[in-house]
Amino acid sequence: AGHLFSSAVPAQAPALIALGAAAGVLAQRIRRKRAAEERAARLLRELPTVADTLELSVLAGESVGGAIARFAGSSRGVAAEELAAVLTAHRGGGGLAEALTGAAGATAHPEAGRLYDLLGHAHRTGGRLADALADLAVDYRAALARDLTAEGGRRALAAYGPILGLM
């Protein structure tokens, strides 16, 4: 019976198992990286609206913490999730500025880090937050426009490249 079992398992089985495991690990890493990139792209698209919404709350007299709480409580998306985590860290005993600094370092996109740093700085110093948020929203919209223009150029090259190659 031992002879029958050993002949049924090919000699390459351990190598095939190792190759399959390596392929699975690689596929999982690619999937995780793609999910992180998609999350960062969603966050980047949300940032102009987030800055505008926070600006309106601050202009209406809300504190930084109040504006964040209002936004996180009434919104959905990556930014709302990150700001809700800031509030959770703040309510857990940390300061709001420290929670915002932590969020700036852990955010899905570095541009959101600028927003969180600005909010933390304004909370610490009481600076002119509404004007800074308005300027930041303009910067975010300009960056999105540049990204869209660049993407359009890449797609045009991809579409015309084969045609030019055939000519």
Q: Which of 93, 150, 140, 98 is nearest to 119 (CA)?
A: 98
Measured distance CA(130)–CA(53) in Å, rounded: 10
Give the pLDDT confidence score for residue 166 in this predicted structure.
79
Q: Which of 114, 81, 112, 117 is nearest to 99 (CA)?
A: 117
The pLDDT tens digits of the residues spanning 100-116 come to 999 999 898 989 999 99
For residue 64, the surrounding DSSP H or E stretch is: helix 64-74
Give the pLDDT confidence score for residue 51 in this predicted structure.
94
Return the SS3 of 57: helix
Reported residue count of the chain is 167
Give the pLDDT confidence score for residue 128 in this predicted structure.
84
Cβ neighbors of 62 (< 8 A, separation 6 or more) are 70
Give the pLDDT confidence score for residue 7 in this predicted structure.
53
Give the pLDDT confidence score for residue 8 in this predicted structure.
54
Q: How far is CA 110 from the centre of its chain?
A: 8
Cβ neighbors of 84 (< 8 A, separation 6 or more) are 72
Give the pLDDT confidence score for residue 148 in this predicted structure.
84
Give the pLDDT confidence score for residue 21 in this predicted structure.
87
Give the pLDDT confidence score for residue 140 in this predicted structure.
92
Give the pLDDT confidence score for residue 74 in this predicted structure.
93
In this prediction, the residues of the chain whose per-residue pLDDT falls under 50 are 1
Give the pLDDT confidence score for residue 9 in this predicted structure.
59
